[in-house]
Amino acid sequence: MASKITILGAGITGLAIASQLPKEADITIYGKFLPGDEMDKEYVSQWAGAIWLGVHATSAREQKYQMDSYSTLWQIAGLHPESSARRIEITEIQDIGVPEQVWYRDHVVGFRYLSKSELPKGAKFGMKWQTVVISPPTFINWFRGHLENQGVKFKRLHVKALRDLEGLGHDVLINASGFGSTLLEDVRESAIIPVRQQNIRLRKEGYNKLFIRRGENNYYSTAFGRDDGSIYIGGVKKENVREWTASAEDRKLIMKQAHDNQPDVFPSADPNDYDLIGDHVGVWPIIKQDKGGIRLEKEVIGGQKVVHAYGQEAGGYVCSFGIAREAARLVFEYLSDPARAKL
Ligand SMILES: Cc1cc2nc3c(=O)[nH]c(=O)nc-3n(C[C@H](O)[C@H](O)[C@H](O)COP(=O)(O)OP(=O)(O)OC[C@H]3O[C@@H](n4cnc5c(N)ncnc54)[C@H](O)[C@@H]3O)c2cc1C
């Protein structure tokens, strides 16, 4: 009989995990929010940028997750342009750090360091390489359809605890509920903290670049074109803030930084001089490295064999398929256990 696997969570984490499970498994994804829903601030995967960006200060374990995701997103961009995933050249400028910390330099397509003459004033080093950019609402919708074609079922359900799912009779339950894990009565994750990021979206055709610059005091400026003709400009990041009201001051700062870095593209520092779509404020759940980083492990809770998958600091898209492969391996460990009968 096919193994029965339940996934709680229909964000990028739950979807990616479903894609890496054995094709013959009977898989159902449950969620309060599902792909195709109207934008809701609590459904984090709709709000990502999203880009694949090698995150500099991560553990070897998370580097592997990031690279697994890079290669799969790269493939999706080649095979399924309708998913919104698109290959793009990235220019990364660093006012901090050293070139040696760029651990992904030998693993991404077309990587090269910039020469001194190519660096803007104040920069320590920089690089260009090829990455993938995604429009998340389109991407998760496409992903849902792709999984449904393979027999994965989607059902809307809001639970208070993992034990509410016990009656489904699955062999393994995957907990990919993100922030939900702080509230589930039998999980109550206390290591998750919120990270808020404010960005701007504006209408501007013809910008097909991805620029990012990082510096002292959390300086972070990015701009990239999305497939819907908009530019996503970021951003002001704040840890431990779960609040969605846009700040006018941050909006000005974001636009000023974009203007300083690319005056040819953004000739004014005043947001009102552009065709603004609006502020884009989102909050995502992370577990910091000093608290162990992403929680990706097995735990038997009240008789259910659970695999937890949440809290990725580097970003749910950046780590997606790497986390999914590891989660699939943990599922396999449960299923191949000689004492496979339910506990
Ligand atoms: C502004 C912004 C920019 C970002 N940019 C990037 C980027 O460029 N690259 C990147 O990789 N990441 C980026 N991220 C981070 C990324 O969006 C998150 O890491 C990722 O979306 C988390 O996905 P998830 O599937 O774990 O959680 P979610 O998308 O929140 O999904 C959780 C799922 O669990 C369900 N759920 C939770 N609790 C329950 C319950 N009790 N009962 C039923 N269902 C439940 C929800 O309904 C939902 O379906 C960004 C985030 C923001 C906000």
Report the C-alpha gap between 72 and 70 in whole angstroms. 6
Q: Does domain 1-58+136-192+287-343 have CATH number 3.40.50.720?
A: yes
341 CA to centre of ligand 1 in angstroms: 33
120 CA to centre of ligand 1 in angstroms: 34
| 65 CB near ligand 1 (under 6 Å) | no
Q: DSSP string spanning 107-170?
A: TSTT-EEPPGGGSPTT-SEEEEEEEEE--HHHHHHHHHHHHHHTT-EEEE---SSGGGGGGG--
Q: DSSP string spanning 34-99?
A: -TTSPP-TT-GGGT---B----SS--HHHHHHHHHHHHHHHHHHHH-GGGS-EEEEEEEEESSS-G
The secondary element (H helix, E strand) that includes residue 219 is: none
Tokens of 246: 């846009």
Total Cβ atoms within 10 A of residue 333? 13
Total Cβ atoms within 10 A of residue 4? 15
119 CA to centre of ligand 1 in angstroms: 35
| 312 CB near ligand 1 (under 6 Å) | yes
Task: State phi, psi for 284 to the nearest 5 degrees.
Answer: -130, 155
Band of pLDDT at residue 218, cut at 50, 70 and 90: confident
Q: Is the dihedral of CA 47, 49, 53, 57 positive or negative?
A: negative
- Do 110 and 82 form a contact (C-beta atoms < 8 A)? no
- Cis (ω within 30 of 0) for the bond into 235? yes
Give the pLDDT confidence score for residue 340 in this predicted structure.
56
Give the pLDDT confidence score for residue 123 in this predicted structure.
97
Query: Does pLDDT of 241 surpass 70?
Result: yes
Atom 22 of ligand 1, nearest CA residue: 316
- Do 36 and 141 form a contact (C-beta atoms < 8 A)? yes
Tell me the average pLDDT across 287-300.
95
β-bridge mates for residue 29, sequence order = 7, 154
Instruction: List b or e across 14-41, with b for residues whose CB sees 16 or more CB atoms inside 10 angstroms.
Output: bbbbbbbbeeebbbbbbbbbbbebeeee
Query: Does pLDDT of 341 surpass 60?
Result: no
Provide the ipTM. Answer: 0.99
Tokens of 197: 């990021």
Query: Does pLDDT of 231 surpass 80?
Result: yes
To the nearest whole percent, how much of the chain has pLDDT over 70? 98
Write the single-letter amino acid at 52: W
Helix, strand, or coil (residue 205): coil
To the nearest whole percent, how much of the chain has pLDDT over 90? 91
Atom 25 of ligand 1, nearest CA residue: 11
Tell me the average pLDDT across 227-245.
93
Task: State phi, psi for 206 to the nearest 5 degrees.
Answer: 85, 5
Report the C-alpha gap between 151 and 241 in whole angstroms. 39
Report the C-alpha gap between 230 and 208 in whole angstroms. 10
Question: pLDDT tens, 180-203?
Answer: 999 999 999 999 999 999 999 999
101 CA to centre of ligand 1 in angstroms: 28
Q: How much is the mean pLDDT over the chain?
A: 95
Give the pLDDT confidence score for residue 343 in this predicted structure.
43
Domain ranges of the chain: 1-58+136-192+287-343
Q: What is the DSSP letter of 31?
A: E
| 74 CB near ligand 1 (under 6 Å) | no
Report the C-alpha gap between 25 and 17 in whole angstroms. 12
Helix, strand, or coil (residue 299): strand
- Do 111 and 232 form a contact (C-beta atoms < 8 A)? no
Helix, strand, or coil (residue 264): coil
Instruction: Return the axis-axis angle of helices 60-79 and 316-335, rounded to nearest 10°.
Output: 100
Question: pLDDT tens, 106-136?
Answer: 999 999 999 999 999 999 999 999 999 999 9
Give the pLDDT confidence score for residue 229 in this predicted structure.
84
Residue position matching structure tokens 């339940």: 6
